[in-house]
Structure 1
């Protein structure tokens, strides 16, 4: 006996294919959403970690800037302390300068020179006096330049011929002005054996300048 299917089987198969397509589309959408959420979460986690690192770097930079400012302040304080220490050392070394100056003038002033006055301005001293000849002044300059432990860089400011005395006692001399620098002794010169400071202190006050 022949059986004939009169049902619309083609429409049924088409409907099944449509339902399967929609099911696959739904599954693809669900999988895509899961992938997007997973990738988004991973990227968000990485961004959060990088932001934390950036915040840490910013905090460390701020801390280092503060330390750098402290170091700069400490350097300024150290320089100020060094300047104060140098000022104290200069005052200490300058305290006995008049004694050393007088002693050196006695030692380095040759015969034939009479010192009238001297004036100290800072580390320079202006010497004024009479000399029997130009050669005497040249000798004084050589002594101050080469033989003195406390005086240096003498400069002849002025020299002129003049007369002193009256009548038979009148003499022709040379009035001169010399500018010379005073050395500040180094620490080893102040405390070392045989140093100018020690020898001068032991020798006592100097005698008047030679005439």
Structure 2
């Protein structure tokens, strides 16, 4: 029988199998590395896109903040202007108040009453004067109460005394002013 040595052939097959396995592993490794590189590049692209969106949003937010600051400044200017307009309206409304006070006082003072001083206080007017009788002072107070501009006359002091022409009563009273808007609307009606 012939003996054939199969060892080199087996050895060759083993080398060939090993080479195929190595080549398969190398190709597999290259495919995995290619996929990893593609995934990395894709993630880099996504990150750049997100970074660009974040920068855009930050720029838009800064723009909105600037506009909000402008709006706040405009609101502050508007508030200042409204305050100024309100002050002007009050001044415009009350500019003839002193004329109306003296006009109403002139109509309310009876014949036998004379005023020595009229001073304005925070609450209204402080009146000092002289009258012949207590009834004249009472009449004066009733006329002030009936006036559209005055309210709550309050007699503080009344003293009797003698002057050159006879017996005279000196008095001191306070009277409150009606709100100028209320007084003006009452005056327009009558």
What's the TM-score once normalised by structure 1's chain length?
0.69
Whether 2:119 is the aligned partner of 1:119: answer yes
For the Cα contact (< 8 Å) 1:130–1:175, is it kept in 2? yes
Partner of 1:195: 188
> Alignment partner for residue 167 of structure 2, among 150, 167, 170?
170
For the Cα contact (< 8 Å) 1:125–1:182, is it kept in 2? no
Larger displacement relative to structure 2 (121-130 or 66-75): 121-130
Larger displacement relative to structure 2 (82-91 or 16-25): 82-91
Normalized per residue, which structure has more helix? 2
Change (3 A) 1:81 1:8: same
Cα distance in 2 between the residues matched to 1:6 and 1:38: 47
1:89 is paired with a residue of what secondary structure?
helix
Cα distance in 1 between the residues matched to 2:95 and 2:171: 31
2:4 is paired with a residue of what secondary structure?
coil
Query: Which one scores higher on RCO, CA 8 angstroms, separation ≥ 6?
Result: 1
Cα deviation, residue 44, structure 1: 1.3
> Alignment partner for residue 159 of structure 1, among 137, 156, 160?
156
Kindly provide the CA deviation profile for residues 34-93 of structure 1, in whole angstroms up to 9, marking residues without a partner as x: 111111122112111111111111111111111111111111211222222223223322
Cα distance in 1 between the residues matched to 2:163 and 2:147: 36
Cα deviation, residue 14, structure 1: 1.7
What's the TM-score once normalised by structure 2's chain length?
0.76
Cα distance in 1 between the residues matched to 2:150 and 2:156: 20
Cα deviation, residue 116, structure 1: 2.5
For the Cα contact (< 8 Å) 1:115–1:129, is it kept in 2? yes
What 5-or-longer segments of structure 2 have no aligned partner? none
Cα deviation, residue 125, structure 1: 2.9
1:170 is paired with a residue of what secondary structure?
strand
Number of equivalenced pairs: 188
Cα deviation, residue 177, structure 1: 2.8
Whether 2:78 is the aligned partner of 1:78: answer yes
